[in-house]
Each structure stands twice: as structure tokens, then as C-alpha cells.
Amino acid sequence: MISLALGGYASYGGIPLTGQVPMGPGSGFAVANEPFDAGLFTPLEALNALSEAEFTTFGHPAFPRYSVRAKKTRWCDTTVSSYTGYIDIEARHLFFYFFESRNDPDKDDVIFWTNGGPGCSSSLGLFMELGPCRVLDEKGPKFHPESWNSNANIFFIDQPIGVGFSYAEYGEAVSTTEEAAKDIAAFVAIFFENFSQFKGRPFHMAGESYGGRYLPVFAAEVYDQNARLIQQGLTPINLTSVMIGNGLTDEYSMIPSYFDMQCSGASVPPLNNVKTCVELKKTIPRCSKWLKAACIDHYDAIDCAAAAGFCGSAFQTSFWATGKNPYDISRDCEGGIEDLCYPITRHIRNYLDKPSVRTQLGVDPVVSGNFTSCSNKVGFAFSQTQDILHPTHDHVGALLEHGVRVLVYVGSYDWICNWVGNERWTLDLEWSGHDAFSSQSLRDWKVDGKFAGKTRSADGLTFATVHAAGHMVPYDKPKEALELVNRWLAGKDL
């Protein structure tokens, strides 16, 4: 989710985007001329070796800066084994949840899930969308039959540092996607090396919203890290696919699409009057020219920020005036900014604020404040580095060329990361499968014989809309979302 308070184009209208992108820290990977002694490493082998009473700490000598502490946690979905813990990067600590598959945990694929923001907790994905239980009211979690762990093992990670239950001891922060990617890739390698039951399993990196920026970079880091793993005599990660839901992958395709979503029948009847739409349409050529010159042809931090700020605000102002939910334009915004237009998020926050729940999950006592769905501090840090102004569609093209499949799915009612903008960048994507993909017309895909959306697919890339779903597709259309994912995991067309 891109937060109304901080992420996406909302930041262009409020927080000034200035400064340069800093260099990230080293990966922590053992250097080639100083190999570790593989004979000194003893993997844990199986997840069920973890204790329920206390954390078990493990790591790998190839990643000397990283360790992981995890525990078995009986809660939420009692039909499967679940685990929680922290990825410790010296004084920085990332919280995660892991649920085994309801089907066959010893054979099923592994999915990594992150929410967006930047700065939003993956507890939103877990408890509101695709997790094994949902917190729909103040009564707490309830079993969710359409969870994505129906046929897959799945992680939910609060990243980067400062999101959800993740924290830093001395105020350290991560402010770029490239920095965050190193932490995620290291954790993935440590996990698969320690729990050999998962070695070689198909691994899918999934998420939504700002995940459109995160995931292509995260997946590229995992893929490129494989060469170093092989060099160290370790097993490479079987990175099979990337799944981007309502993503912000190319903001320069997304900005003009805001006109389509407000002033045409691309999703629902036009939201704005004729006068407003005529004025907005006049803005498109100016913005397209300015953004291309300042951000794409030659990136200039000050000029690009100015262009994005002006153009983003031009389309936002008219949209906010409608009172509609930017994540679902078929409904009005309910609640305040903190609720992200969904009062259900209050129930999730209240649940995660309970001391008994935090103790059960193993949340570090140093995390003592009220739970927040999205961190303004993290969002501001990313805006200061202009992270959002660096599209990741080229990463998608490169991943496809290297055999990693990519699914881009979008709820048709979303405004902030809408289907029009996402379709545009997938059609324009430069890669060897461009002609085969872009030459196809959209076709219907169905679930139980009923229309579920539109799709096109070629050479490993699939674009799909989910009819009448908003930004959080699994929340609005859990049955269709699960069917989409199950078909994807099975390598089938929609």
C-alpha cells in the first residue's frame, strides 16, 4: 500500500524531494579471497527443530554481519506450523512471520511477501489480505480459507528497518530500495542454507504497491547473489518468479494514467466534471515532456523532483476533491489518514498492541510504542533520497531475460497504482518478448466460469486485471486472488 500520509505522489505535494541517493552498505557476504570453512557450519535442517519457548539463533559464515533468531509460534492458523522472529543485521532488526503450507509444506513452493509504503507493515497483507487469518474486528484473528498458504509456504516481512515491529538500536535507517535489497537477499540465503528441507524449492517474491519498486530490485539482488553462493560452494536460490500486485514500477507511466482513471470510463464512470477534465488533459503533454527531459533522458534531482511534484499534485488535487478512496474508487474514503481509508486497519493495530500478543509473537520489548500500519519516518527517509523517482521496469526486463517469470496483477478499481499505468509500462517494456507480448489483445480470464478480469501473457510475462477489486486485491477478491496465485504457481495460464 502507498500511504496517503507519506508514500507515492502524496509526498510530492508535501515533503520536498531533495538530496542525493546515498551509497548502500556492503552486503556482508564473505569475500572470495577469504572463504569460510564449510566444515564448521552445521545447518538446523528442519524448521520443527525450533523451540516454542525461546528463540533459536542461527546464521551462516558466508554472511558474517547477519544472523536470524526465530521461534515456533502457535497462533492464528492452528492447522499449520508457524514461526516468528528477527533478521538481525548488527544493530538493525527486521521482524518476520512464516507460515507453512496447508497442503504439503515439505514439497510446496515458498513465497516471500512485502507490503509497500514505503514504510507500511506486511501485517496489512497478513491480517487484511492473504494471510491464514484475518483481523476483521476487535474479536481478533479468524481463520481465512482463501489464504495464500493454501498451497505454499509464505513469509511476511516488516521491512525496511523502522516498519512494524522492526527496529534499530541506535537510530540506523535504510532509505533506498537498493540498501533494503541486500538485507532481504542475505536473509533468504541464510534461511535456505539452514533449513535444507526447502533447498531447491521454487521461490517467488511477491508484494504490492511500492512493492513494484521493491520487488524487481530485491529479486535482482537474489538472482545476482546466486553467483556468489555458487562460488562459495552453496546452493543457489531457485528464484522462479516475481508477483507484483497493484505496483508502482514506473511512475512516469502512472502519472498520466491518473487522468484516465478520473476522466474516462477506464474503471468507473468519470469522477470529475467536464471543466476539470479538460484542464487536466491540457496538463498531460506538458508533464510528459518535462518528466522525460528531467527524469528519464537525463536525471536531474532538482528538476525531476519539481516535475514530479507539479504533475503529481495536478492530478491529486482534483482526485482528493471527489472524496473517493484512492485505493478503491468505487467507494468513499472512510476514516482518517491513519486508517488508510479502511477502518479495519484500526482492529489490526489494536490487536498488535496487546501485550499478550506481542509476547506470543516474540516481539522485542524494546518495541514499546503503539503499532503503526505505516511509518512516516521511513516514508520521509525514502522521499529524501528520491527513491520513488527511480523506476524498476528495466529490472523486470532483465529478470525476464534471465528466465524469471513476472506476474503483474491489478485491481480494476485502484486509482493510486492503477491498471492503466501498469498496462502501459508492460506494453512498452524493452525485452526480447516485447513483440510477442504487446501484439496480443487482452482476453478474459474466469474463475468457476465467471468473469474475473482481463489478461495477456507471453514468454514469461503476464499482465492481469482483477475485476471490481481495489488496491488490495486479496482483500476485495480473495477467491479470485487465490485462484490467480495457484494457477501461477502451477505454471498455468490464467
Q: Which residues are catalytic?
A: 209, 414, 471
Cell digits of residue 87 = 533478521
Q: In the chain, what is the straight-line distance between the N-terminal and C-terminal CA atoms, in Å?
A: 24
Cell digits of residue 394 = 528495466
Cell digits of residue 142 = 479468524
Pick the closest to residue 418 from 369, 485, 465, 479 (CA basis). 465
Taking the C-alpha atoms of residue 343 and residue 482, their distance in angstroms, rounded to an integer, is: 24
Residue 70 contacts residue 55 (beta carbons within 8 Å):
yes
Pick the closest to residue 459 from 396, 409, 385 (CA basis). 396
* Amino acid making up residue 355: P
Taking the C-alpha atoms of residue 404 and residue 460, their distance in angstroms, rounded to an integer, is: 7
Other Cβ atoms closer than 10 A to 198: 21
- Interhelix angle 301-320/251-263, rounded to 10 degrees, is 20
Other Cβ atoms closer than 10 A to 398: 17
Residue 429 contacts residue 417 (beta carbons within 8 Å):
no
Place of cell 471543466: 275
* Dihedral pair phi/psi, residue 487, rounded to 5°: -65, -40
**What secondary structure letter does DSSP report for 346?**
H
Instruction: Report the run of H or E that residue 216 belongs to, with start and end.
Output: helix 211-231
Residue 473 contacts residue 246 (beta carbons within 8 Å):
yes
* Residues contacting residue 93 through CB under 8 Å, at least 6 positions apart: 86, 87, 161, 166, 167, 168, 169, 364
- Interhelix angle 251-263/274-291, rounded to 10 degrees, is 170
